[in-house]
């Protein structure tokens, strides 16, 4: 594995299996009375979040704490960033404080990569712009393997605003690496033209795709990002691409429903559907901690070369 986790494209199938197997061991740690092991005692992990994301930050924080690392949460409101400090200066400050790993979320695609050129510690991409969100993809792969027993040959539809979704990109790359069959589903305005080069299929008719799926993965409609000009209206989107009870009935019996959260109930997913046993959102959250523990362990637990 590389020193950093920036993109799912950097991971081979072998790397993914190693990460998921390691996460499996950490799932067991999460069932103990004392959910903490001393593996990363004395190491410092910085959460550097330029965008709000309570769930991803908390998940990383818990993962680092369960490995006994010291955790610093550096959020941009009320900090030096609000006073105009550049990413580079912030990075150099964290470096000077001895950060062994920096978990970064940033609105600009490529910011984590830039960070690696300024710091010696490990960099983990917790979501950058519309580029990638590799830890979400890995926790999704873990959940799929746990629920369905395999990744190879799985038929997965990723439904929604693929164009602006770093989750969709990372998950597509990961699934294709592991030999799954991926179909991107959404209105033509929200599917990037270059997506065919990812090794996926494209379809615009959700109803035609549903009967052939093992997994229906719904993306969040990002109402807060003013991307509504891409669809006639939210209602129109929900009518064509929202997962309703009627549509769930078209899925094969064994098929599962996934969503990276937070959900817009009544838009991309109906409230009843979100609460079905085949909707595995809670497992995704629980597995997220184990997968992030595995990543921190594999990156920080490796010694050796100075970067």
Pattern 67-106, other proteins, x by CB under 8 A? x---------------------------------------
- Told to check if 306 binds other proteins by CB under 8 A, we report no
Q: By CB under 8 A, how many residues form the interface with other proteins?
A: 23
225 labelled catalytic? no
Q: Which of 29, 92, 250, 274 binds other proteins (CB under 8 A)?
A: 29
- Told to check if 32 binds other proteins by CB under 8 A, we report yes
DSSP-assigned states of every residue in the chain: --SSB--GGG--HHHHHHHHHHHHHHHHHTTSSS----TTTT-EEEEEESS--HHHHHHHHHHHHHTT-EEEEEESTTSTTTTT--HHHHHHHHHHTT-SEEEEEESSTTHHHHHHTT-SSEEEEEEETTTB-HHHHHHHHHHHHHHHS--TT-EEEEES--TT-HHHHHHHHHHHHTT-EEEEES-GGGS-GGGGGGT-EEES-HHHHGGG-SEEEEPPP-GGGT-GGGSS-HHHHHHHH-B-HHHHTTS-TT-EEE--S---BTTTB-HHHHTSTTB-HHHHHHHHHHHHHHHHHHHHT------
223 labelled catalytic? no
The first and second tokens of residue 266, run together, are: 């009544």
- Told to check if 12 binds other proteins by CB under 8 A, we report no
Closest separation between CB of residue 60 and other proteins, Å? Answer: 18
- Told to check if 38 binds other proteins by CB under 8 A, we report yes
Q: Which is nearer to other proteins, 111 or 294 (CB)?
A: 294
Q: Which is nearer to other proteins, 29 or 92 (CB)?
A: 29
**Catalytic residue from among 4, 105, 145, 220:** 105
Q: Which of 17, 37, 148, 250 binds other proteins (CB under 8 A)?
A: 37
The first and second tokens of residue 7, run together, are: 């993109």
Closest separation between CB of residue 307 and other proteins, Å? Answer: 13
Gyration radius of the chain's alpha carbons: 19
Q: Which of 17, 58, 81, 298 binds other proteins (CB under 8 A)?
A: 298
56 labelled catalytic? yes
- Told to check if 307 binds other proteins by CB under 8 A, we report no
Closest separation between CB of residue 301 and other proteins, Å? Answer: 3
235 labelled catalytic? no
Catalytic residue list: 55-56, 83, 105, 133
List residues near other proteins by CB under 8 A: 21-22, 25-26, 28-29, 32-34, 36-40, 67, 297-304
């Amino acid at each position: 594995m590389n020193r950093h986790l920036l993109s799912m494209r950097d991971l081979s199938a072998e790397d993914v299996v190693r990460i998921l197997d390691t996460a499996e061991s950490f799932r067991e740690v999460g069932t103990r009375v004392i959910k903490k092991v001393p593996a990363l005692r004395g190491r410092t992990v910085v959460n550097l979040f330029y965008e709000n994301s309570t769930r991803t930050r908390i998940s990383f924080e818990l993962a680092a704490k369960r490995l006994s690392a010291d955790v610093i949460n550096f959020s941009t409101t009320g900090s030096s960033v609000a006073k105009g400090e550049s990413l580079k200066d912030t990075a150099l400050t964290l470096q000077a404080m001895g950060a062994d790993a920096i978990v970064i979320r940033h609105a600009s695609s490529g910011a984590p990569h830039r960070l690696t050129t300024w710091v010696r510690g490990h960099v983990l991409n917790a979501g950058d712009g519309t580029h990638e969100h590799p830890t979400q993809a890995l926790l999704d792969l873990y959940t799929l393997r746990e629920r369905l027993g395999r990744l190879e040959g799985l038929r997965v539809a990723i439904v929604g605003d693929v164009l602006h979704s770093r989750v969709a990109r990372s998950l597509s790359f990961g699934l294709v690496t592991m030999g799954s069959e991926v179909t991107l589903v959404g209105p033509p305005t929200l599917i990037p033209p270059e997506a065919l080069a990812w090794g996926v299929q494209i379809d615009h008719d959700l109803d035609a795709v549903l009967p052939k799926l093992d997994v229906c993965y719904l993306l969040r409609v990002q109402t807060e990002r003013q991307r509504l000009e891409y669809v006639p209206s939210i209602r129109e989107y929900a009518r064509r691409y929202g997962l309703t009870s009627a549509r769930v009935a078209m899925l094969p019996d064994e098929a599962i429903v996934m969503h990276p959260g937070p959900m817009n109930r009544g838009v991309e997913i109906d409230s009843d559907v979100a609460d079905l046993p085949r909707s595995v959102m809670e497992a995704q959250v629980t597995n997220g901690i184990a997968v992030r523990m595995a990543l921190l362990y594999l990156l920080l637990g490796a010694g050796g070369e100075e970067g």
